[in-house]
Amino acid sequence: MAACACATDGRPRRILRAWGRVAAAARAFGGDDWIDLSTGIAPWPYDHGAIDPDWTRLPEPAELAGLEAAAARAFGVNDPARVVAVPGTDLALRLLAVILAAERPAVVRPGYAGHAAAWGQARSVAAGADPGDADLLVLASPANPDGRVTPPDRLRALAARMTVIVDEAYADPDPGLGAEASDRLVVLRSFGKFHGLPGLRLGFVIAGAGVAGALRHLLGDWPVSAGAVAIGSAAYADRSWMAGQVERIDTVGALLDLALADSDVIGHAPLFRLVRTPDAHRLFRHLCRHAILTRPFADRPDALRIGLPPDGATLARLATALMEYDR
């Protein structure tokens, strides 16, 4: 789903992928000191300043295995061989489309554009609807943009009928959400959203031995960079930081809920809230004029997604802008 970048006079200029693109918003609306609440990425990045990757050599197999073992412990997976490091889950989806050749794939919508892109011939299935005779189903839990969660027993029931790929990019703040992976139930996990470092391009696929082995074969010996191995290994071993991150997310999320008390919040995940308003693009433009970038949707003109502010000053700016909005 694409975001709407609109001219300041209110007429749609074009539909483009504008979330996370503060420079494009600044060109359209002017202003400086922009706040980006459009991405749903934790605004407190893991402090990796003391980590000095050796960029002069390729990662050793033992170092890659150490990263996957650290991630497996963080995810509650007993066998690290089932956890495969990938340079972002978007690429992993495209490789899985090759490995899991499906004749009747289906993608739950609304959801991520990357899911539909990986399975271009897939038919769309409404959230909660029966996928019928599909032999492969792709969905997110928590979902985008409303944060809906598919219970593990529902995932297991679907996996008894077809192959299921569940994208758990937003599950890290709530480890209890994690699904138990197998060759019929493949799980994607993201490093960057929870750890606030999307530019590291690190993710993981959790699967049974067959799918994990096939994915490792396609990725080759060096699937991720030395920086991703070093920073990811340190971050997943830092249980104290992860616990603090969960606390930050919960605390600021509760404060964001207070700022949105007069809004119609129709969906939420730990890292974002979804607000319903009669003209979401109008609210989007209003916030842009306050140098606050949020996430509108081309096909949902009544919905706006708002991520977590990084600090009290940012939260106050958002609350003031919302109070000044003429509903």
| Predicted confidence (pLDDT) per residue in 40-53, tens digit | 999 999 999 999 99
pLDDT above 90: residue 295: yes
**Angle at Cα 40 formed by Cα 39 and Cα 45, nearest 5°?**
95
pLDDT above 70: residue 4: no
Quickly list DSSP for 121-166: TPEEEETTS--TT-SEEEEESS-TTT-----HHHHHHHHTTSEEEE
Does 3.90.1150.10 match the CATH number of domain 3-44+241-323? yes
pLDDT tens digits for range 184-210: 999 999 999 999 999 999 999 999 999
Task: Look up tokens 């109070």; give the residue.
Answer: 323
Q: 190 forms bridges with which residues in the sheet?
A: 203
Task: Look up tokens 């409303």; give the residue.
Answer: 146
| Mean predicted confidence (pLDDT) in 62-82 | 95
pLDDT above 90: residue 15: no
Nearest Cα to Cα of residue 272 among 288, 260, 262, 282: 260
Q: How confident is the model at residue 32 (pLDDT cuts 50, 70, 90)?
A: confident
| Mean predicted confidence (pLDDT) in 146-174 | 93
pLDDT above 80: residue 20: no
Q: Is the dihedral of CA 82, 180, 115, 113 positive or negative?
A: negative
| Mean predicted confidence (pLDDT) in 250-263 | 96
Q: What percentage of the chain carries pLDDT values higher than 90? A: 80
- CA–CA gap between residue 194 and residue 241 (Å, rounded): 11
pLDDT above 80: residue 12: no
Q: What's the token pair of residue 62?
A: 């033992």
13: helix, coil or strand? strand
Class of domain 61-237: alpha beta
Q: Do 3-44+241-323 and 61-237 agree at the fold level?
A: no
- Give residue 11's pLDDT: 36
42: helix, coil or strand? coil
Quickly list DSSP for 237-303: H-HHHHHHHHHHHHHHHHHHHHHTTTSEEEEEETTEEEEE-TTHHHHHHHHHTTTEE-EE-TT-TTE
| Mean predicted confidence (pLDDT) in 76-90 | 94
Which CA distances in Å does 47 have to 44, 51, 232, 271, 313?
A: 9, 9, 11, 19, 21
- CA–CA gap between residue 315 and residue 256 (Å, rounded): 7
**How far is C-alpha 101 from the geometric centre of its chain's CA atoms?**
24
Q: What's the token pair of residue 46?
A: 């893991």
pLDDT tens digits for range 97-149: 999 989 999 999 988 888 999 998 899 999 989 999 999 999 999 999 999 99
pLDDT above 80: residue 18: no
- Give residue 175's pLDDT: 63
Q: Is the dihedral of CA 114, 120, 121, 124 positive or negative?
A: positive
Q: What is the mean pLDDT of the chain?
A: 91
- CA–CA gap between residue 32 and residue 208 (Å, rounded): 48
- Give residue 111's pLDDT: 85
Nearest Cα to Cα of residue 74 among 209, 258, 206: 206
Domain residue spans in the chain? Answer: 3-44+241-323, 61-237
Q: How confident is the model at residue 83 (pLDDT cuts 50, 70, 90)?
A: very high
